[in-house]
Amino acid sequence: MNIPSISFNHKKTNQAELEVMELSSLYEREGINHDPQSPHRVSFFMLIYIEQGQGVHMVDFAHHAFSAGSIIFLQREQVHAFDFSSKPVGKVLLFTQAFLDQLHANMRLPNYTPTHLNQLHKPLLQLDTQSQQRTHTLIEEMITEISLPHSDPLIVMYLFSALALLLHRLRPEVRHDKLSKEQSIKFARTFELIQAHYHHVRDANWYANQINTTYKTLNQVCKLATGLTAKQMIDAFTIMEMKRRLVVNHTTSQQMAYDFGFEDASNFVKYFKNHTKQTPSQFQKQYIETVL
């Protein structure tokens, strides 16, 4: 079984780069052809706001208990699975990198850096009563503006920006606002390169050379963006991809060694165990037991 990859539906949003939907529409399966409760990868950003209900949301094979007032953040390319056992009520915001680029060009917005690679950072935020009320109001205002016959995209952007800044203030552990414009460009280019070459290149010096900078400078930029060194970020991204294949695709260690450029299966197992304290088979077994 391969991990389904879900793309942003521009036809559904009339070519807009933001969609706001009711959470219930996903378990009522309106216009979707995959099971949201099974692991799937998203090519866009998501913000899930829980108004009622409780459960456990899986994000990259870690399970996070949610309840009323929970916010779940998802980055591009993350693998996740919903839990609809309690029929939760809430809103789901889907938005693209193009939407964020428009926002950055027009107003203030936090950087959406891949902090999910740092294990200290959690994708779930529990809101207090006042923050729940403000979040609800801003999302409802977005829905109202989007539904107007002559909707103004700039008003939607301002409302989204206000929501993003409000939630960002409540997550001091993931604040990485010290990147200059030049550093942001360097980091974005580095992350694109990692996504393209992680299978066979795990040398931070190589990535530094590709963006015409020094190893030291690349480390500084990565630490500002994620709290991890360049090497730690490369390894975290690689290990996450390995976990996804082991659990969802059931790929063998021999095949994994070939796919990730190791000389043999034992070297792959050693690399995986050094970073996770488990062998690949132990990780597979643990995850299956956790799910069941």
Q: Is the pLDDT of residue 49 over 70?
A: yes
Q: Is pLDDT at 33 greater than 50 in this prediction?
A: yes
pTM of the model: 0.75
Question: Across residues 250-257, what is the average pLDDT?
Answer: 86
Question: What was the pLDDT predicted at 176?
Answer: 53
pLDDT score, position 268: 93
Q: What is the pLDDT of residue 292?
A: 41
pLDDT at 212: 93
Whole-number pLDDT of residue 122 = 81
**Tens digit of pLDDT for each residue in 110-169?**
666 666 666 667 888 999 999 999 999 999 999 999 999 999 988 999 999 999 889 988
Q: How confident is the model at residue 89 (pLDDT cuts 50, 70, 90)?
A: very high
Average pLDDT over residues 188-192: 87
Predicted pLDDT at 43: 85
Confidence at residue 229, expressed as pLDDT on a 0 to 100 scale? 93
DSSP SS3 for 270: helix
Tokens of 67: 């309840």
Mapped onto helix, strand or coil, the DSSP state of residue 175 is coil
> Which of 34-38, 99-103, 153-157, 177-181 has the largest mean confidence?
153-157
- Which fold would CATH assign to domain 181-291? Arc Repressor Mutant, subunit A (1.10.10)
pLDDT at 265 over 80: yes
Look at the chain and count its residues. Answer: 292
- Is the pLDDT confidence value at 28 over 90? no
User: Residue 25 corresponds to which tokens in the numbers above?
Assistant: 């529409």
76: its two tokens: 């591009």
Domain boundaries, the chain: 5-174, 181-291
Phi, psi of 149 (to 5 degrees): -60, -35
Residue 83's identity, in one-letter code, is: D
pLDDT digits over 232-244, tens only?
A: 999 999 998 898 8
**End-to-end CA gap in the chain:** 18
According to DSSP, the β-strands at 18-22 and 89-95 are antiparallel
Residues 6+ apart with CB under 8 A from 60: 78, 79, 80, 116, 240, 243, 244
User: Residue 159: which residues within 8 A CB-CB, separation 6 or more?
Assistant: 138, 141, 142, 145
Any idea which fold 5-174 has?
Jelly Rolls (2.60.120)
Q: Which residue has the higher pLDDT, 172 or 133?
A: 133
pLDDT attached to residue 266: 93
